[in-house]
């Protein structure tokens, strides 16, 4: 099976001089197409920084990261943004829902950005809200939802444009046990049935059984097994 992600000696730091913080210290990581990889480790270990580099939100300072064989670090900012909009889905801890849009409108945004007509985008958004278990919230606004319900909206938005890679930062953090299991079952089925690749950052031991593989980060490094 081909590599969906290939990271070699990834280094990333923030700040300069005595204030410089090394967030990633030479990470080597490969993720196969269709694999659900879970990244675990203590807070501050570099997990979010790593998935931000993989998804092209951050650029590494050293090393090489290929996504589907493409080096996003060599692209212009505009081309990276366009690539993410077509090929990568995001579930981050900060929901980033647009407060003036309904749930189905929020979910439809990636399709609208890819020039899909509004009616088709909203219909697809409604279908995904049903898939994540909150069809009755399609016309509600984010302020009218609980944290767990907002999390499900974000997950639906991450999936709507059928991305090749989905990166998730604590996707079950606001969900109870049953809701968390349903979301992970949905994400796993996407990986298995559709051949999509998922990278999930989590502290939640309840969802470990859904992973094909687990890697542990500590102090900016992958811990050898």
Task: Count the domains in the chain.
Answer: 1
How far is 132 from 153, CA to CA, in rounded Å?
A: 8
Strand partners, 138: none
The pLDDT tens digits for 36-69 are: 999 999 989 999 999 999 999 999 999 999 999 9
Residue 116 is assigned to a structural domain of this protein? yes
Output the six-digit token pair for 59: 């650029």
Q: Does residue 210 register a pLDDT over 80?
A: yes
Q: How far apart are CA 75 and CA 57, in angstroms?
A: 12
The closest alpha carbon to 73, from 25, 20, 8, belongs to 8
Q: Tell whether 138 is covered by a domain.
A: yes
Quick one: tokens of 79?
């081309």
pTM: 0.89
Instruction: Examine residue 66 and state whether it is found in any structural domain, yes or no.
Output: no
Q: Is 200 inside any structural domain?
A: yes
Which position has the higher pLDDT, 225 or 172?
172
For residue 145, tell me if it sits in a domain: yes
Which residue range(s) make up the domain with 198? 34-59+76-222
Tell whether 40 is covered by a domain.
Answer: yes
pLDDT in tens, 146-202: 888 998 899 899 999 999 999 999 888 878 888 888 888 888 887 888 888 999 999
7 beta partners: 29, 65
CATH number of the domain enclosing 118: 3.40.50.300
Residue 9 lies in a domain: no
In a domain, 90, yes or no: yes
Contacts of 16 (CB under 8 A, 6+ apart): none
């Amino acid at each position: 099976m081909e590599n969906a992600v290939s990271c070699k000696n990834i280094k990333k730091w923030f700040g300069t001089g005595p204030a410089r913080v090394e967030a990633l210290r030479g990470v080597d990581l490969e993720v196969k197409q269709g694999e659900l990889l879970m990244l675990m480790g203590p807070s501050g270990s570099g997990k979010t920084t790593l998935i931000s580099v993989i998804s092209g939100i951050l650029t590494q300072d050293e090393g090489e990261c290929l996504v589907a064989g493409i080096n996003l670090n060599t692209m212009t900012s505009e081309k990276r943004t366009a690539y993410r909009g077509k090929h990568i889905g995001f579930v981050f801890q900060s929901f980033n829902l647009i407060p003036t849009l309904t749930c189905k409108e929020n979910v439809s945004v990636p399709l609208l950005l890819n020039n899909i007509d509004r009616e088709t985008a909203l219909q697809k958004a409604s279908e995904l809200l049903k898939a994540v278990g909150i069809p009755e919230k399609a016309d509600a606004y984010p302020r009218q939802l609980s944290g767990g319900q907002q999390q499900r909206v974000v997950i639906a938005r991450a999936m709507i444009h059928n991305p090749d890679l989905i990166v998730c930062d604590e996707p079950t953090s606001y969900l109870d046990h049953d809701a968390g299991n349903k979301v992970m079952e949905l994400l796993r089925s996407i990986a298995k049935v559709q051949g999509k690749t998922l990278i999930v950052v989590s502290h939640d031991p309840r969802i470990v059984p859904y992973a094909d593989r687990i890697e542990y980060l500590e102090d900016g490094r992958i811990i050898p097994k």
